[in-house]
Amino acid sequence: MDNMNPSNTDVKRIGVLTGGGDCPGLNPVIRAVVRRAIRAGIEVMGIRDGWKGLVSDTIVPLDINSVSGILSRGGTILGTSRTNIYKNPADSVKAKETMAKHKLDALIAIGGEDTLGVAQRLYEEGIRVVGVPKTIDNDLSCTDYTFGFDSAINIAMEAIDRLHTTAESHNRVIVVELMGRHTGWIAMHAGIAGGADAILIPDVENDIDLVVAELKKRHARGKRFSIVAIAEGVKLKNTVVTQDARVDDFGHVRLGGVGQTLAAEIERRTGYETRTVVLGHLQRGGSPTAFDRILGTRFGIRAVELVLEGGFGKMVCLRGNTIETVEIKKAIAQPKTVDGEWVKIASVFYG
């Protein structure tokens, strides 16, 4: 223990878990949580596979060596799942029993709206929880950015760069389908950074007539190829395109296929050969960027400090370049959408 522990905390041992879809930057958060907690004389237990680990009692001690060498690694050393312990009432009881059994005085839950929704419910039932915002989609409210997003848009931007050269060689339109269930932050940012000729996102009305007109305008001035970015959650004819009928514990369908539908429509209306690329989980895999490593590190440190201060029911967040805190319930109330200003910026480069 050193002077980094305020004397008024009764917390001796905490649990940390990662829930929902993985993303680059989770390991930097876990590393920072462990390092900062150990400095404060607090033991850390890793809960495997998100909330599932509290139901199955799969808990591992984390020391400095367990988090050594993970800063640059994508994914999460703890594993993750989309388990909702409130789907089956017995699971939430078991989760609390597991916490008591392992003498966990508090929890740090790293996750998006679903994982933090569970955290909020546990907090309302008396469990001491602190949240760390995580979503590759960057659509969690009350934080300017979530880690993982920067890594994803850089991967997507590079993919769009690569698609340019092959599209140009073959005089094709290429539709690139990007992640983004409720919002189109990845499509918008990667599309702007990669110079897409049209960007479709779920946050606004999309007019296919307009997309087709812009592509025709571009081809009329001599360009013989185009790149179109589309978020997987875009509704065409008022319906999302799904891979199948399965849903997860939180009721989310498995998205995928909207790019193909759009490509067929573009080809039908323009006569230009149109292909589709689905980037999928490539956007979530691999090493985090420097931005994501630093943001994850800052979030992890501040989350432990929140525990030390007794700031339960709160989440760390980024505002400007400052790490702040906010009530979890405020952050999960509604998603952070892409506003029309972004659409205006992107559309300057259409046609």
Question: Which of the residues 218 through 237 are near ligand F6P (CB under 6 A)?
Answer: 232
Give the residue, chosen from 15, 53, 133, 180, that forms a contact with ligand F6P under the rule CB under 6 A. Answer: 180
Residue with tokens 């997309």: 211
Judge contact between 145 and 134, C-beta under 8 A. Answer: no
255 binds ligand F6P (CB under 6 A): yes
Judge contact between 177 and 259, C-beta under 8 A. Answer: yes
Structure tokens belonging to residue 216:
């025709």
How near is the Cβ of 204 to ligand F6P at its closest, in Å?
18
Q: What angle do CA 154, 157, 162 make, to 5 degrees?
A: 125
- Of the pair 233, 313, the CB lying nearest ligand F6P is at 233
Give the residue, chosen from 136, 228, 301, 306, that forms a contact with ligand F6P under the rule CB under 6 A. Answer: 136
Taking phi over 0 as left and psi of -120 to 50 as alpha, with beta for the rest, 13 belongs to beta
- Of the pair 137, 214, the CB lying nearest ligand F6P is at 137
181 binds ligand F6P (CB under 6 A): yes
266 binds ligand F6P (CB under 6 A): no
- Of the pair 36, 134, the CB lying nearest ligand F6P is at 134
How near is the Cβ of 42 to ligand F6P at its closest, in Å?
30
How near is the Cβ of 87 to ligand F6P at its closest, in Å?
16
How far is 302 from 133, CA to CA, in rounded Å?
12
How far is 9 from 86, CA to CA, in rounded Å?
29
- Of the pair 88, 243, the CB lying nearest ligand F6P is at 243
Give the residue, chosen from 179, 192, 196, 263, that forms a contact with ligand F6P under the rule CB under 6 A. Answer: 179
- Tell me, yes or no, if 137 is annotated catalytic: yes
Helix, strand, coil in percent for the chain, rounding step 5? 40, 20, 40
- Of the pair 41, 280, the CB lying nearest ligand F6P is at 280
Question: Which of the residues 284 through 313 are near ligand F6P (CB under 6 A)?
Answer: 284
How far is 165 from 83, CA to CA, in rounded Å?
42
140 binds ligand F6P (CB under 6 A): no
Question: Which of the residues 14 through 43 are near ligand F6P (CB under 6 A)?
Answer: 21
How near is the Cβ of 165 to ligand F6P at its closest, in Å?
27
- Of the pair 183, 226, the CB lying nearest ligand F6P is at 183
How far is 347 from 30, CA to CA, in rounded Å?
39
How far is 325 from 308, CA to CA, in rounded Å?
14
Query: Segment contacting ligand F6P (CB under 6 A): 5-13, 65-73, 173-181, 213-221?
Result: 173-181
Among residues 22, 137, 139, 249, the one annotated as catalytic is: 137
Position 114, amino acid = D
How far is 119 from 122, CA to CA, in rounded Å?
5
137 binds ligand F6P (CB under 6 A): yes
Q: What is the DSSP letter of 12?
A: -
Q: What is the DSSP letter of 14?
A: E
Query: Segment contacting ligand F6P (CB under 6 A): 59-67, 179-187, 261-269, 302-310?
Result: 179-187
DSSP states along 232-273: TT--BTTB--EEEEEE-TT--EEE--HHHHHHHHHHHHH---
CA-based nearest residue to 134, from 115, 110, 107: 110
Instruction: Report which residue's Cβ sits closest to ligand F6P.
Output: 179
Q: What are the phi and psi torsion angles at 313 (to 5°)? A: 80, 5
Query: Segment contacting ligand F6P (CB under 6 A): 66-74, 135-143, 269-277, 339-347?
Result: 135-143
Point out the residues that are catalytic.
137
> Which stretches of the chain bind ligand F6P, using CB under 6 A?
21, 135-137, 179-181, 232, 254-255, 284
